[in-house]
A and B are shown apart, each in its own frame.
Chain A
Amino acid sequence: NAGVTQTPKFQVLKTGQSMTLQCAQDMNHEYMSWYRQDPGMGLRLIHYSVGAGITDQGEVPNGYNVSRSTTEDFPLRLLSAAPSQTSVYFCASKIQGASYGYTFGSGTRLTVV
Chain B
Amino acid sequence: AQRVTQPEKLLSVFKGAPVELKCNYSYSGSPELFWYVQYSRQRLQLLLRHISRESIKGFTADLNKGETSFHLKKPFAQEEDSAMYYCALNGSGNTGKLIFGQGTTLQVKP
Q: Do A and B come from one complex?
A: yes
The range of chain B's interface size is: 20 to 34
Q: Contact mask B45-69 → A, CB, 8 Å, 1/0?
A: 1100101000000000000000000
Residues facing B in A82-98 (CB within 8 A) are 90, 92, 94, 96-98
- Complex alpha-carbon distance, A97 and B90, angstroms: 10
Residues facing B in A19-61 (CB within 8 A) are 30-31, 33, 35, 40-45, 48-50, 56, 58-59
Contact check, A33 vs B98: say whether CB atoms are below 8 A apart: yes
Contact check, B94 vs A98: say whether CB atoms are below 8 A apart: yes
Q: Which label, helix, strand, loop or mixed, suits the secondary structure of the B interface?
A: loop
B97 located at the interface, meaning its Cβ lies under 8 Å from any Cβ of chain A in the complex = yes
Chain A residues whose C-beta falls within 8 Å of the C-beta of B6 in the assembled complex: 42
The range of chain A's interface size is: 20 to 34
B17 located at the interface, meaning its Cβ lies under 8 Å from any Cβ of chain A in the complex = no
Question: Contacts A35-B100, A45-B99, A90-B44 known; A98 to B34 CB distance under 8 Å?
Answer: no
Chain B residues engaging chain A, CB cutoff 8 angstroms: 6, 9, 32, 34, 36, 42-46, 49, 51, 86, 90-103
Chain A residues engaging chain B, CB cutoff 8 angstroms: 30-31, 33, 35, 40-45, 48-50, 56, 58-59, 90, 92, 94, 96-107
